[in-house]
């Protein structure tokens, strides 16, 4: 797999221009939604929806990004992600049979932020231009289903009922979206274009990036969600009525955004016994004795120093613990076997030992005793690609008296190698016997007692990263990798 999957937008740009500070994490299992009552009691001939999204690819059927409809289904409007990654815009106005536009393209890259614009203008004299769907600044023109709106046809996105983000609000209350949303703009009575929300980068013209949208006109029922207020993630930054939050907590605010893209765990490279949740940051092992392992979506580059934490949220009472470590040249067909092999995972950490391949240990030993891991414990990984060393810590005590800042001397490193010889090196973690862990690449799913940042000011960690170590995100990769 490539270092950063190519679908990422704004992933290689420097920290210039407009930055998106926050997103909201929608966890499928929580049935989350943001909703508000619509006041006008009518539809619209002009409407625009814009958002940035990062999918987790775990929707079981449909994931409603936007929804408005009555409980009987006599009218409804929705923007939906299908389980296979296709996007749909659909609506009906009672007895007219409805309209459905369904893309052939599938948006399944769990490492990528995508920008979606839906533009509706039934006053347009060209029937084929009345409904437009744009992804990353490019108009989508390939659909498996599409029916042009009639001239001046109303779309009932603002009919008097409840409009929701992240879940269908009907009598069934169903179809949660799973992933991250940022810069959600719902525009009443204006048909904006994609360039009102984003632009191509001057230096990298294939990269689409966000621009400031605060100057747009949102209309009577429109709103703007920037997710900057952790205690009120339904806040309308345009000054209108806030949306009600349901099953969304302050910890669902994330700093993983289209301008600061963090690593997560990759469901496309994940063992069958592992279940991911919480924006692909929480891993739960199978309740049997089998384990399931996932890699990160971003590999460590040849250079730089990188810091990761992992919180033990449910250590199995039978003594089975989440295992984690660093693997070179990932063999994804059998990750658990590689975990213990000399050709795969250099080491694993569990509650009682650090098991390592004898030919890569500093002292040739196959195991070392460490403190028992319990619920709430924080594992720490400091990966020094510049000097060829990795260090392991637990609750801010570095194993083997390790010193991640020791440079070429590599004091107390749990594993060493010749710098520059380990390309395609990945972090991986494995649930075992129902155990849970939550990996923190810098945008955690849980509240830290103290949010410590790296030297570049990014990341929210329980413990301060060692000097010179950075969170695994797109901007740090561009600058320090």
Residues 310 and 247 in one domain: no
Top pLDDT among 283 and 103 is at 103
Top pLDDT among 322 and 257 is at 257
Residues 215 and 324 in one domain: no
pLDDT at 342 over 50: no
As given in the structure block, the two tokens for residue 350 are 């569990």
Q: Percent of the chain, pLDDT > 90? A: 56
**Final residue before a domain boundary, out of 222, 254, 286:** 254
Residue pair 201/194 in contact by the 8 Å Cβ criterion: no
User: Is position 412 within any domain?
Assistant: yes
User: Is position 313 within any domain?
Assistant: yes
Q: Percent of the chain, pLDDT > 70? A: 80
CATH of the domain at 73: 2.60.120.200
Residues 215 and 175 in one domain: yes
Residues 213 and 278 in one domain: no
Question: Tokens 């084929």 belong to which residue?
Answer: 128
- Please tell me the total count of domains within the chain: 2
209 has which bridge partners?
Answer: 199
User: Is position 39 within any domain?
Assistant: yes
Residues 463 and 334 in one domain: yes
**Final residue before a domain boundary, out of 227, 254, 281:** 254
Residues 213 and 323 in one domain: no
Q: What is the pLDDT of residue 57?
A: 76
Confidence of residue 139 (pLDDT cuts 50, 70, 90): very high
Q: What is the pLDDT of residue 268?
A: 85
Residue pair 340/348 in contact by the 8 Å Cβ criterion: yes
User: Is position 425 within any domain?
Assistant: yes
Give whichever of 97-111, 232-246, 371-385 has the largest mean pLDDT. 232-246
Taking alpha carbons only, the member of 199, 200, 52 closest to residue 112 is: 52
User: Is position 5 within any domain?
Assistant: no
User: Is position 198 within any domain?
Assistant: yes
Residues 245 and 331 in one domain: no
Residue pair 430/339 in contact by the 8 Å Cβ criterion: yes
Confidence of residue 421 (pLDDT cuts 50, 70, 90): confident
Top pLDDT among 275 and 211 is at 211
Taking alpha carbons only, the member of 25, 263, 326, 8 closest to residue 166 is: 25
Q: What is the pLDDT of residue 215?
A: 93
Top pLDDT among 53 and 204 is at 53
Query: pLDDT of 212-224, one tens digit each?
Result: 999 999 998 999 9
Which of 306-320, 341-355, 361-375 is predicted least confidently?
Answer: 341-355
As given in the structure block, the two tokens for residue 60 are 């079981």
Query: pLDDT of 236-262, one tens digit each?
Result: 999 999 999 999 999 999 999 999 999
Average pLDDT estimate for 307-313: 92
**Final residue before a domain boundary, out of 230, 254, 278:** 254
In Å, how far are 264, 394, 432 from 308, measured between CA atoms? 11, 12, 20
Q: What is the pLDDT of residue 40?
A: 62
Residues 75 and 191 in one domain: yes
As given in the structure block, the two tokens for residue 466 are 């060692």
Question: Tokens 């959600």 belong to which residue?
Answer: 184
Q: Which residues does 215 contact at the CB level (< 8 Å), separation at least 6? A: none
As given in the structure block, the two tokens for residue 254 are 């994330």
Residues 314 and 411 in one domain: yes
By the 10 Å C-beta count (0-12 exposed, 13-18 middle, 19+ buried), 217 is classed as exposed
Q: What is the pLDDT of residue 37?
A: 86
Residues 233 and 352 in one domain: no
Top pLDDT among 351 and 229 is at 229
Residues 311 and 203 in one domain: no
User: Is position 18 within any domain?
Assistant: no
CATH of the domain at 375: 2.60.120.920
Residue 181 is part of which domain span?
A: 23-254
User: Is position 7 within any domain?
Assistant: no
Residues 241 and 349 in one domain: no
**How many whole angstroms separate alpha carbon 116 and alpha carbon 134?**
6
Average pLDDT estimate for 339-365: 36
**How many whole angstroms separate alpha carbon 463 and alpha carbon 202?**
38
pLDDT at 351 over 60: no
Top pLDDT among 353 and 402 is at 402
**How many whole angstroms separate alpha carbon 404 and alpha carbon 398?**
9
Average pLDDT estimate for 53-70: 84
Residues 459-463: contacts with CB within 8 Å, 24+ apart?
Answer: 459/307, 460/255, 461/307, 461/309, 462/309, 462/311, 462/378, 462/396, 463/309, 463/378, 463/380, 463/393, 463/396
pLDDT at 408 over 90: yes
Rounded mean pLDDT of the chain?
83
CA dihedral 125, 138, 103, 146 (to 10 degrees): 10
Confidence of residue 156 (pLDDT cuts 50, 70, 90): confident
Q: How many CB atoms lie within 10 A of CB 265?
A: 27
């Amino acid at each position: 797999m490539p270092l950063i999957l190519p679908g990422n937008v704004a992933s290689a740009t420097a920290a210039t221009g407009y930055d998106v500070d926050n997103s909201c994490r929608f966890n499928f299992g929580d049935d989350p939604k943001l909703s508000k009552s619509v006041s006008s009691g009518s539809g619209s001939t002009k409407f625009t929806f814009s958002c940035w999204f990062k999918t987790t690819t775990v929707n079981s059927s449909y994931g409603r990004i936007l929804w408005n409809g009555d409980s009987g289904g006599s009218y409804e409007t929705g923007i939906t992600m299908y389980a296979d990654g296709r996007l749909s815009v659909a609506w009906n106005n009672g007895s007219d049979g409805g309209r459905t536009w369904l893309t052939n393209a599938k948006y399944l890259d769990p490492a990528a932020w995508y920008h979606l614009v839906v533009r509706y203008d039934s006053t347009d004299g060209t029937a084929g231009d009345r409904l437009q769907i744009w992804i990353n600044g490019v108009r989508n023109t390939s659909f498996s289903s599409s029916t042009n709106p009639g001239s001046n046809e109303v779309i009932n996105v603002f009919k008097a009922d409840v409009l929701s983000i992240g879940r269908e609000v009907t009598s069934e209350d169903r179809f949660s979206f799973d992933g991250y949303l940022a810069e959600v703009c719902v525009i009443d009575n204006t048909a904006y274009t994609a360039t009102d929300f984003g632009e191509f980068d001057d230096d990298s013209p294939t990269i689409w990036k966000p621009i400031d949208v605060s100057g747009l006109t949102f209309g009577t029922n429109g709103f703007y969600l920037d997710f900057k207020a952790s205690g009120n993630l339904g806040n309308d930054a345009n000054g209108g009525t806030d949306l009600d939050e349901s099953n969304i907590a302050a910890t669902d605010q994330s700093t993983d955004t289209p301008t600061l893209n963090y690593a997560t765990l990759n469901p496309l490279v994940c063992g069958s016994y592992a279940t991911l949740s919480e924006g692909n940051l929480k891993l739960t092992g199978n309740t049997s004795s089998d384990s399931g392992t996932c890699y990160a979506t971003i590999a460590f580059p040849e250079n730089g120093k990188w810091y990761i934490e992992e919180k033990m949220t449910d250590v199995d009472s039978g003594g089975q613990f989440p295992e984690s470590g660093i693997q070179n040249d990932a063999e994804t067909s059998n990750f658990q076997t590689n975990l213990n092999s000399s050709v795969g995972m250099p080491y694993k950490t569990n509650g009682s030992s650090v098991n390592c391949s004898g030919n890569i240990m500093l002292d040739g030993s196959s195991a070392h005793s460490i403190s028992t891991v319990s619920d709430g414990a924080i594992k720490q990984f400091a990966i020094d690609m510049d000097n060829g060393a990795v260090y392991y810590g637990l609750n801010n005590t570095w194993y083997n008296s390790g010193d991640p800042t020791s440079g070429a001397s590599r004091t107390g490193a749990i594993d060493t190698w010749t710098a520059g010889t380990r390309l395609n090196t990945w972090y991986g973690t494995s649930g075992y016997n129902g155990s849970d862990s939550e990996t923190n690449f810098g945008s955690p799913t849980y509240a830290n007692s103290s949010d410590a940042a790296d030297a570049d000011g990014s990341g929210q960690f329980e413990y301060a990263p060692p000097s010179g170590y950075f969170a695994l995100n797109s901007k740090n990769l561009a600058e320090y990798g």
